[in-house]
Amino acid sequence: MTVTRFCPSPTGLVHVGAMRTALFNWAHARHTGGTFVFRIEDTDAARDSEESYRHLLDCMRWLGLDWDEGPEVGGPHGPYRQSERHEVYREVAAKLVAAGHVYESFSTNEEVEARRRAAGQDPKLGYDNADRSLTDAQKAAFRAEGREPVLRLRMPDTDLVWADLIRGEVRFAAGSVPDFVLLRGNGVPLYPFTNPVDDALMGVTDVLRGEDLLPSTPRQLALYQALTDVGVAQGTPRFGHLPLVFGEGNKKLSKRDPQSNFDVYRERGFLPEGLVNYLALLGWAIADDRDVFSPAEMVEAFDVTRVSANPARFDLKKAEAINATHVRALPVDDYVARVVPFLARAGLVADPPTPGQDRVLRAIAPMAQERTVVLSDAVGLLGFLFTEDVEVDPAAAAKNLRPEDGEVLDAAAAALRDLEEWTTPRIEQALKEALVEGLGRKPRQAFGPVRVALSGRTVSPPLYESIELLGRDRTVRRLENARETHTRG
RNA sequence: GCCCCCAUCGUCUAGCGGUCCAGGACGCCGCCCUUUCAAGGCGGUAGCACGGGUUCGAACCCCGUUGGGGGCACCA
């Protein structure tokens, strides 16, 4: 039975890289029929917020990553917020102290640095294990000075090695990692301690995390040895270090980078399944000749050991292309349902739409769908169908509503004003007769002005269908308005 | 500086010693379709970082070089 977990800390914005990590852990658990644990690592009171916590849950649910154990779901190993687990850490720490795996350390950073320099070493080497064998008298003396000791784990003097699920064997030489702090002087537990303790207690078997955490793995290994020794853990989990997600440059996508904000993809109208698909591609491939798939297909095929070890750049263009194919694949009803919130937010339709709006939406949907990359595109694409008048884009007017285009608007209005049968085929026939045959214009020169006058843009859904949906009144009025305001010089 | 990771088209990748003068996708460029834009169809552009080995044979294995990245907190 495999148990994976996702354990973000609720600080600020949700990062796409974090959601990629969540996705892979989820997919691995689902593929293997295992358990997916969701845990909140809010041990940093200064940076964590309740709002961020709620938002994290919302993002997970929106993406479709359901958890078997975790907040609001419960489970046998709760609570699942570290801020509620301080007692657990205190107890485990006591066991480690009793077994001699950890010791009190009084050195300040300044003292460590001074000692390193005095020895002619780089201060970057960090703590020098100097407090490993302090006598009781020495400890008492430090306390007398008012110092509060931190608790450090005594690192083993052997190489620390593991078989990474993605990278194969990784080895850190004995002595290359200094004893690290488990608990602060004030007794507050730190991430390098709480993370493995909770993983152990929650029975996590497979740890999939970002490569940025790889250098801390030897410490986790050492802690696991100690935890196993005192009976808190029953062995060490497998580790798999996922490739980093890069941004535009050759750098890890940072929280500062706007592209890293998961919300912007939701707000622009990426489909959850489209984003899952693209995120999955960041380090994984379903087949050599295919890269569009559903979450279910991903679960079916996902194999962690096939995840690539090299960093992946987040490519917005590709993400959009993948999303667009998911949009196109939507059943029409589904497309309408998903696009309504965006149109409603823009004030174009009611939510739910009125019967009239619904009729227009369903009619235009198939044509809008293949022109939609992200759902918010529908606002610009369909807006003209849901307003009384159009606001004509000045650039579009400059291009297609010049003085010499006035005749087209006149002819179009005349042809449509008294058209007896207001249907797409009849509209097409009437316009072709009036503009192409009548005025002798090339189709491009004939329909361009009409399109801009009606939709306000040079790009729109197919014209005749749009005209039918617009109705006679609005169509004729817009043609006349455009004639007045744009082609009279 | 020290430790570690990585190295196939611009980008994401397939490739797990011969079937690869390297396949797919995005992007880009043509053409077709066409009332615009899309979609769709067809075609094209472009890559195994370098040097040594191992082997009958290397994109695939080993070593080195170079390059890129990550980490070095009483943050997570």
- Class of domain A388-487 as given by CATH: mainly alpha
Q: Which of A368, A352, A342, A367 is nearest to A269 (CA)?
A: A342
Query: Which helix (H) or strand (E) covers residue A137, if one does?
Result: helix A136-144
Catalytic residues of A: 255
For residue range A285-309, list pLDDT tens digits in order.
999 999 999 999 999 999 999 999 9
Residues 201-230 of A with CB under 7 A from strand B: 211-216
> Averaged over A268-296, what is the pLDDT?
97
Classify domain A83-242 by CATH architecture.
Alpha-Beta Complex (3.90)
Asked whether residue A192, judged by its CB, lies under 7 Å from any atom of the DNA or RNA strand B, the reply is yes
Q: Do domains A83-242 and A388-487 have the same CATH topology?
A: no
C1' (B53) to CA (A236) span, angstroms: 38
Asked whether residue A111, judged by its CB, lies under 7 Å from any atom of the DNA or RNA strand B, the reply is no
Q: What is the DSSP letter of A434?
A: I
Q: What is the DSSP letter of A315?
A: -
C1' (B19) to CA (A312) span, angstroms: 30
C1' (B41) to CA (A79) span, angstroms: 57
CB A452 within 8 A of CB A444: no
Asked whether residue A127, judged by its CB, lies under 7 Å from any atom of the DNA or RNA strand B, the reply is yes
C1' (B12) to CA (A320) span, angstroms: 13
Radius of gyration from C-alpha coordinates of chain A? 32
Does A55 score more than 90 pLDDT?
A: yes
Q: Which of A170, A333, A340, A201 is nearest to A269 (CA)?
A: A340
- pLDDT averaged over chain A? 95
Binding residues of A for ATP: 255
pLDDT of residue A121: 86
pLDDT of residue A44: 84
Give the SS3 label for residue A454: helix
Residues 7-66 of A with CB under 7 A from strand B: 8-9, 41, 43-44, 47
Question: Helix A272-281 vs helix A316-329: angle between axes, to the nearest 10 degrees?
Answer: 140
The type of residue at A279 is: L
Joined tokens for residue A98: 């009793």
Asked whether residue A308, judged by its CB, lies under 7 Å from any atom of the DNA or RNA strand B, the reply is yes
> Averaged over A39-59, what is the pLDDT?
92
Q: What is the DSSP letter of A391?
A: P
Residue with smallest Cα–C1' gap to B71: A215
Chain B bases near protein CB atoms (7 A cut-off): 1-8, 10-15, 23-27, 35-40, 68-76
Backbone angles phi, psi at A384, to 5 degrees: -65, -20
> Averaged over A401-412, what is the pLDDT?
94
Model ipTM? 0.96
Residues 145-184 of A with CB under 7 A from strand B: 148, 150, 167-168, 170-173, 176, 180-181, 184
Does A250 score more than 90 pLDDT?
A: no
pLDDT band at A146 (very low <50, low <70, confident <90, very high): very high
Asked whether residue A246, judged by its CB, lies under 7 Å from any atom of the DNA or RNA strand B, the reply is yes
Does A421 score more than 80 pLDDT?
A: yes
pLDDT of residue A46: 82
Does A153 score more than 60 pLDDT?
A: yes
Q: Where are the domains of chain A?
A: 83-242, 331-387, 388-487
Residues 357-386 of A with CB under 7 A from strand B: 370-371
Q: Where is average pLDDT lowest: A66-70, A257-261, A332-336?
A: A257-261
C1' (B42) to CA (A277) span, angstroms: 28
Given CA atoms A286, A290, A292, A294 in this order, what sign does their dihedral have? negative
Classify domain A331-387 by CATH architecture.
Orthogonal Bundle (1.10)
pLDDT of residue A156: 95
**Cα separation, A174 vs A168, whole angstroms:** 19
C1' (B61) to CA (A218) span, angstroms: 28
